[in-house]
Amino acid sequence: MTANRIMRADDATRWPLGALGVLLVAWVLPCSSVEGGVNVWTRHGPEGGIVSVLVVSPGNPTSLLAGTTSGLVGERPPTGGIWTSADAAASWRQSAALGDFTYVNTLAFNPSNPAIAYAATTSGIMRSQDRGDHWVSVGAISAQAIAVAPSRPTTIYAGGTYGTILKSEDGALTWRSITSGLPTDTAVVTIAVQPDSELTVYAGTDARGLFKSTDGGLTWAAVGVGLPSSDLLLISHLTFDFHDPPGLLAFAVDRRTWQSGLYRSADGGANWVTLSSYSESTSPSALTLSPRNPALIFLAGGQVVLKSTDDGASWATIAVELPINVRIGALAADPENVDVVYAGIGGGSGVLKSTDGGTNWRPFGRGLTSTDVQALALDAGPANTLYALTASYGHETELFSSRDRGGTWISLGEIRECYFPKVILVDPSNPNTLYIGSGGNGAFKSYDAGHSWVSIKQGFSSGMFQVHSLAIDPSNSRTLYAGSERFFDLDMWWGNLLYKTTNGGLTWEVTISGLGYSSSAVITALAVDPRNPATLFAGGPGLWRSTDGGRNWAATSSMSAVSAIVFDPNNSGSVLCTTGEPIMATGGTVFKTIDGGSTWTSSYPPGGAASLVLDPLNPANVYVGGRSGASMSLDGGSTWTLINGGLTNIQVTALTIDATGTMLHAATNGGGVFDLEISTATPAVSLSPDSLNMQDGTSTAVTATIHPPQLTEIELAANSSDSAVASVPDIVTLAAGDTSVSFTVSAGTVAGTAAITVRLPDTMGGSSATANVTVATRPVHVPRKHLHGAMP
């Protein structure tokens, strides 16, 4: 059997497969949310995400795998992840963070070896040999489905686009194409292998119905008398039940009428009977069967679970309490306990569990932090509350808050009608007042620290309520600026680029003098000078400056795609901007002016540039986040270095820093919020062991450990007081965020004692540590001469 998700009508074509261009890495390390300590990024939440694939190990019911999808907001590309649970969903850890346009379509365990699992992803086929902890890429096909033959688990079938099916007979080491008789204008989205024969295989397509092979895939033929006769038929799920002999179940969708139904065949797919049927609005999205009770079937769709205890003859409908717009996307049954069922959902905790046969459900997503965080804000008041806005495709915005520097999070609920959130602000004079700008429905305001919200868009152009950026006057928090958009359509211009309010958002007025733009434009960044609030910058396809509170504007630079603007709080003439959205392959650029915008210099952070913050106590310390993680500059933005230690989801969408400059928070695309406690303490180094006894010609490992770990990669200088006795490499490199690294000590051919010293750079305090090495030469073996004759 294989676990396949049932695609909704719009799923099959939502993301063109031809756009996929990211290959999986050869080895994907686990990405657990461990406590990192200082100078290492640590992830604590918010928990949740979109779980679209869920499977329980047939040989170990406490072992589960989940496939998540995130990033489906606006123009951000989708990303995916694989998560593992070893305790029946009580806790989760991420084992694979997949790249852009890469997400999981199917997960399958090896039925005879629960340590082996396979994943069909949009960038390739992956295999794990340790219950999902680590994954390797074993096939470059954009895979929609994968199935392991129960009777011969080394035989595996994988389906993809253009009628492609690959077959492996050696456990996914090698693959060959088997497509004779399959249509090439469709994708294979589900596969089932007959339990007693690896040669009999069924393939469901996304538009051409059902196909069968009885020769191991060498040839295929259409089957399906009794299935809908549509020429545009989606077979979204195929699985054998647990009867003896087993029957074949299929979920089919007529993509012309969007009528759907669950069908069973008892004669190898030749003829089918209907078990249940649905309209488009009630069509289920997931299916699972119980190995312990062959008559038990679960379907799920929307916010309900459908349960049959009599082989589909009758169904009970169970309502599941879920947040607004959250749907059930996956189901999985415990192979040994008929009362235990799991559900993957499109928001909230990500995973639900029922222990009473589906009647009641509880969240079981602890540690599953696959949230797509769009914006961050930090209350500078005594509460020091951190806010995170999350959203995913088709869902309204959800707001989370943390009062312990990101250590734990609580949900403040969904914000009704707030779509595509862009920015959140805290009123500096009243921390209970919050503002949100959304790309879908304007601005929102909360008077009670985010527990309830009201829409504030009076004065915006009719029907044009997009707010892509917000800025607040620090000297008068009732004055705000909102960046919007303007475009030409149907022979007329729509919308305005910039609005201003002087009454806390109750009414807005257009303020665009000098902001004329000849083509469609969006104001994506705004900043107010904290020393002179009449001065502000607005950025988008260009950069403009106003010195009279936004009444008049003048262009200051031709830079494009401005994503963030920050004033130096100590110097009004010093301003930094980032350009380039996270989706851009080039990553982005940082521009800086020290003369108020007359001239600019540029630099290129290695992690890209989409978000930007300054250390409030030392503005020369600059942090940016982008497509490839986070970068740091200690010289005001002239030079940069990556600071990605512990940052497993490296596409950073937003940054914020606390008032002390010691806690940096990064919002990520599909990984929640990462927190970085910055320590400037002088690091110390130690060696272990600090004393070695060696024989000549041998080698051994010594470990150098530093504390605290450092934000950037470190090169430690190593040397030996006598290289003839013992030698070491000249440089030992410690990765960013790591605390220790091992290097080799090689004994020479000369007996004696040498001191091995490892030293940190002088710029880091120059701490050093020494280990003493004593080398003894091996005794020379002289063969004993054999004496002949009599003793004298």
Distance of alpha carbon 529 from alpha carbon 546, whole angstroms: 10
For the question of whether the overall pTM of this predicted structure is more than 0.85, the answer is: no
Residue 71, pLDDT score: 62
Which CA distances in Å does 476 have to 415, 429, 558? 26, 8, 31
In terms of DSSP bridges, do strands 165-168 and 156-160 run parallel, antiparallel, or are they unpaired?
Answer: antiparallel
Q: Which two tokens stand for residue 14?
A: 């939502």
The 10s digit of each residue's pLDDT in 641-660 is 888 888 877 789 999 999 98
Task: Give 221 or 783, the one with higher predicted confidence.
Answer: 221
The 10s digit of each residue's pLDDT in 595-634 is 999 999 999 998 889 899 999 999 999 999 988 899 999 8
| Percentage above 70 pLDDT, the chain | 91
The 10s digit of each residue's pLDDT in 423-482 is 999 999 999 999 999 988 899 999 999 999 999 999 998 778 899 999 999 999 999 999
Confidence band for 395, pLDDT divided at 50, 70 and 90: low
Residue 76, pLDDT score: 61
Q: Give the closest residue to 469 by CA, choosing from 512, 537, 526, 509.
A: 526
Distance of alpha carbon 463 from alpha carbon 440, whole angstroms: 10
Q: Give the closest residue to 52 by CA, choosing from 88, 12, 81, 75.
A: 81
Report the DSSP beta bridge partners of residue 772. 691, 755
With a cut of 50, say whether residue 26 has pLDDT above it. no
Residue 792, pLDDT score: 42
Residue 11, pLDDT score: 37
Distance of alpha carbon 636 from alpha carbon 633, whole angstroms: 6
What does the DSSP 8-state code read for residue 280?
A: G
Which residue has tokens 């459900």?
A: 361
With a cut of 70, say whether residue 150 has pLDDT above it. yes
Contact 442, 468 (CB under 8 A): no
With a cut of 90, say whether residue 386 has pLDDT above it. yes
Q: Give the closest residue to 189 by CA, choosing from 72, 17, 394.
A: 17
Q: Give the closest residue to 422 by CA, choosing from 656, 670, 100, 73.
A: 73
Chain mean pLDDT for the chain: 86
Q: Give the closest residue to 205 by CA, choosing from 183, 175, 177, 228.
A: 183
Report the DSSP beta bridge partners of residue 493. 488
Report the DSSP beta bridge partners of residue 397. 415
Distance of alpha carbon 309 from alpha carbon 280, whole angstroms: 24
Q: In this structure, which long-range contacts are made by residues 568-574, counting pairs with CB atoms below 8 Å and at least 24 apart in sequence?
A: 568/614, 568/619, 569/530, 569/531, 569/614, 569/616, 569/619, 570/619, 571/619, 572/529, 572/531, 572/532, 572/535, 572/596, 574/619, 574/636
Residue 25, pLDDT score: 31
